[in-house]
A and B are shown apart, each in its own frame.
Chain A
């Protein structure tokens, strides 16, 4: 819908522009190369959905636009000229290559009147379009280009918030068992029996990666069990903020388990920010301390397999979880249990066993249902068009598909 409005705006601007600029047709005569024609139908509008300071200039290609084959003199690009009065002086504000039909002049001052013309550049100068204007740039309070993101975001968020709220009110929810998380208890128990430590790796990214946040929250629940079992946990981190957060988390877990005295900051230590330096150290810890259980929860890159293979060689039980699609195969291959993508983010809610947290899992399911429904709708519309050749299905399908378009 917003698209249509913008079209109307564009058209009115075009006609306005042409109407106010007919007098400058003389500019055409300046053309040094009679064979080349200027860009057509030049128009300029305030760039939509921006913070101001930008005007978008648009045009239709010169009929002599370079098409990649022609040998003759062709337009190799468009020079965008700007002035603060219709009579000039015009100065270049940018260059767009052949085939381009728009240029965002991001050097405007809001509220100033600007006039534009576009030169079709050839190797030797080029013809100039009529002057258009005035145009002003201004900032907007809502980015209409992203209205669809806003709406879809609201729908998905609301479905999650709804179930958090309804679970908080005491509605019982069923959550299936997740094998990797059921195994956490057993894995900690095993380490306790063997009298060996537990190694917990919260990924190698900083706290600005949401997977690290997931990893640290899972650590909170794992540490609670560890505190109850009175087992030793070791958390080497590759980022300082993660170190601080992990300490807070584990400390809280020990307090919650009623054993604040058993907590020591030494459980969490910083190694190095360097990915492979960190891995070198973790491998060292593994072969020397021989942990009975290794957890890998967070964002991982290539080091995933180095750690998982070393962990495997010392016979540790390994539970991994990551949302890095490229690393999942290695964890699946080398670990006993792997939380795949979404399961990583669900894990802390699952382990917490708090109704409102579990409610958000139900909300996620509803989100998936909506996603599937959306795919199905679009697929059906387009398929109907293919089968029946009724144009309406195509239009409806395209409209629907554009809902997910990022501008």
Chain B
């Protein structure tokens, strides 16, 4: 029973949604839209679990860390709060080493950041329009946090890719096998084609060989063989998704539902 009901729910929701795609009549016409709204709402509730998990993990780390640090400080006698303060960097950050349990201060930072954001956002702190104001109002504290902390962190993390893409191409693009050679050669031509160097390098070729001008060659690769590969991938994916969906809807695939606890 406990296991059957979820399977039935999945089946009904999935099957009805598929059929509804072909029925414009109320209430089927907007079923997809409505279900997507339900999903969003469930996701918000679920966030309470996720956020709770975050707080529990970091709260736990922090509590355990500070307790053990105080115990450590109390060791060997003396006025322990002073010792605690003096050796704070070692207790809280683990000093230069990376010792487990000695990094509780970072958990505290995470918690502070989390609650600061909740406070600023949920209470609309500093919003010129007060409670009625839009949470995205750039004047509010919430958006100030966003601009000065969230945004640069996000953008920099993203920007690390510039370095990683270079190191990955250095390592991966070696002509070790026919496949690797094709990968290398294509990437090489496209890379060249995106730079002026590529343009200059092949400018001397006569007009009759204009196909081999690197930018033209790059455009050709993008338009022809690349397109073929993309199409194969996309058609394959669509069949994969259809099969996956059917397996789920028909209850053939049910790992995600967990097991019975007898």
Which residues of A are interface residues toward B (Cβ below 8 A)?
49-52, 139-143, 146-147, 149-150, 153, 156-157, 160-161, 164, 206, 208, 210, 213-214, 216-217, 220-221, 237, 239-241, 243-245, 248-249, 251-253, 255-256, 269-277, 279-280, 288, 302, 305-306, 308-310, 312, 323, 325, 328, 330, 332-334, 340-346, 348-349, 352, 354, 356-357, 360-361, 363-364, 367-368, 371
| Bound-complex Cα distance A360 to B243 (A) | 6
Beta-carbon contact of A280 and B157 below 8 Å: yes
Q: Which residue of A lies closest to B6 (CB)?
A: A248
Find chain B residues with CB under 8 A from A256 CB: 259
Beta-carbon contact of A143 and B24 below 8 Å: yes
Q: SS class of chain A's interface: helix, strand, loop or mixed?
A: helix
| Bound-complex Cα distance A275 to B158 (A) | 9
> A303 CB to closest chain B CB, in angstroms?
8
> B44 CB to closest chain A CB, in angstroms?
9
Q: Which of B131-139, B191-199, B206-214, B227-235 contacts A (4 or more CB under 8 A)?
A: B227-235
A240 with B29: in contact, given A349-B247, A360-B252 (CB under 8 Å)? Answer: no
Beta-carbon contact of A216 and B256 below 8 Å: yes
Beta-carbon contact of B154 and A276 below 8 Å: yes
Beta-carbon contact of B247 and A164 below 8 Å: yes
B245 contacts the other chain (Cβ, under 8 Å)? yes
Cross-chain pairs A/B with CB under 8 angstroms, 28 sampled: A139-B26, A141-B23, A142-B22, A142-B23, A142-B24, A147-B22, A149-B22, A160-B243, A160-B246, A208-B39, A216-B256, A240-B51, A245-B256, A249-B255, A252-B259, A271-B54, A276-B158, A277-B153, A302-B158, A312-B168, A325-B233, A333-B172, A341-B236, A344-B240, A360-B246, A364-B239, A364-B243, A367-B242
Beta-carbon contact of B252 and A309 below 8 Å: no
B50 contacts the other chain (Cβ, under 8 Å)? yes
Q: Which of B67-75, B81-89, B121-129, B159-167 contacts A (4 or more CB under 8 A)?
A: B159-167
> B253 CB to closest chain A CB, in angstroms?
6
Beta-carbon contact of A249 and B253 below 8 Å: no
Given A160-B242, A249-B256, A341-B233, 16 additional A-B pairs, CB 8 A: A51-B25, A52-B25, A52-B26, A149-B21, A160-B246, A206-B43, A214-B244, A241-B43, A277-B157, A325-B234, A330-B165, A341-B240, A345-B241, A346-B243, A348-B244, A367-B239
Find chain B residues with CB under 8 A from A368 CB: 235-236, 239
With beta carbons under 8 angstroms apart, the residue of B24, B25, B237 that contacts A341 is B237
Nearest 9 A-B pairs (CB), nearest first?
A240-B50, A345-B240, A220-B255, A248-B258, A252-B259, A51-B29, A342-B236, A333-B172, A270-B50
Beta-carbon contact of A279 and B157 below 8 Å: yes
Find chain A residues with CB under 8 A from B255 CB: 216-217, 220-221, 249, 252-253, 348, 352
Q: Which residue of B lies closest to A150 (CB)?
A: B22
Interface size on B, residues (CB 8 A): 64
| Bound-complex Cα distance A164 to B248 (A) | 12
B98 contacts the other chain (Cβ, under 8 Å)? yes
Find chain A residues with CB under 8 A from B96 CB: none
Beta-carbon contact of B239 and A240 below 8 Å: no
> B171 CB to closest chain A CB, in angstroms?
8
Q: Which residue of A lies closest to B160 (CB)?
A: A306
Beta-carbon contact of A302 and B239 below 8 Å: no
Find chain A residues with CB under 8 A from B39 CB: 206, 208
Interface string of B3-19 (1 = CB under 8 A from A): 00000000000000010
